[in-house]
Structure 1
Amino acid sequence: MSSNGMAADPDMIAYVGTQFRPIAQHLYRLGQGGEERLALLIAACGDDDMGREIREQLLPTAKIIEEAGGSIGAAVENTGNVMSALALQLKAMERNNAANVGHGFKR
């Protein structure tokens, strides 16, 4: 444990990393069907002047929101991957440090 009371536990970091995967999968599932949702929005607006105006105002924002869902899912998945890699790196460092101490080398 460090002087500030914080410690990097590779097993806990790996565990937390695995918990990002189900969240990312859920976000990907939420993103599925985006084309259908956009088609429903277009249909709900109707084809009169007011409907076209509403569609022109809403559709660009709706497309951005639909695209963001996939991007957020990818970012969450990437965070999990980074944490898992960090845990592996910390474990390797701990093994190397233990081996060096065992051979009389100083940190």
Structure 2
Amino acid sequence: MSERADELRQDARFRALRLIEANPHITQRELADALGISLGATHYMLRALVGRGLIKAGRFASAKNKSAYMYLLTSRGFSEKSVLAGRFLARKRAEYEALKREIEELGAELRVGEELGD
């Protein structure tokens, strides 16, 4: 697996854990839409999160839709979310710095071009 593919999976897992923490009653379809992935991929991800002990999934009795699930982060899930948040933030800061440098370089090129055009 490529490093980029691994980062994308980590980002999706981090975003899923954040969404589940914020809305334990989120449906798989809502989660899929929010993550921009297929319903099948979302189902697979949720099963993996349950399998790794990061979330618990259970039906809740008061739901109108008796097949609805509630997802809860476990203590291990909270820890994993924190680790993933740190990695996500580090990547975003590096991307920001690279973009900032590129903008500065392009700005300098434009200024030189304008000076030569005068």
Structure whose residues are more often strand by fraction: 2
Which of the five TM-score ranges fits, normalised by the shorter chain?
0.3 to 0.5
The normalised TM-score by structure 2 is 0.37
Asked which structure has the greater RCO (Cα within 8 Å, sep 6+), the reply is 1
The normalised TM-score by structure 1 is 0.39
* Higher Cα Rg, which structure: 1
